[in-house]
Amino acid sequence: MHDCEVFVKTGIAFGDAQAALRHIGKEMLRAGVVEVSYPHALIRRESEFPTGIMLESHGVAIPHCEAVHAIKPAIYLIRPDEAVRFSQADGDEPVSALLIIALIVTHPSQQLVLLRNLFGQLQDPCFIDQLMAAPEQQLAEMFKRKVFPTLST
C-alpha cells in the first residue's frame, strides 16, 4: 500500500448512510481511483455486510467493497459535522459514526493487512481522539503515520 492516496473531507453533512456512500462513490470516481462500477458495489456491499463499529468512545464506519472495483489504492477519511447512522457490523443497533473511513484496495490481501493495521489503531482511544480533533489539513498525514508507520515521510 506504498502508493495509497489518502483523501480527507470535513465540514460536510449527510442525511443518512446512503447519502454518505453516494458521496464517497462520486468523489472517488472524480479522483480517478475507482471503476465506474464502484459506487453501486459500495452501496450493495454495505447493505449486505454493514460496516458500522462502536468503539470505546466513538462510532466509526469503514465502508469498502471488492478490489475488482478499484483502480488505485486509496482511503477517504470523512469527519462529518453530525453523526451518520450506519448499520452495525456485528449487532442490531445502529452506530452513530463520527468518522467514516472508506477503503479502496486493489488486492484482497492488501485489504486484510490494511484492516488489521486499522483495527489495531482504532483500539487506541488516543488515536481516535487525535483524528477527531486534528485540523483537516493534518488528518491525512496523521492517519498515514499511524496506520502505515513504515511509510512515514
> Which residue numbers are catalytic?
64
Contact indicator for 150, 125 with CB cutoff of 8 Å: no
Element housing 92 (H / E)? none
Region of residue 63 (phi > 0: left; psi between -120 and 50: alpha; otherwise: beta): beta
Q: Which grid cell sits at 16?
A: 443518512
CA dist 149 and 153 (Å) reads 9
Alpha helices in the chain (DSSP H): 17-31, 38-48, 108-122, 125-133, 136-147
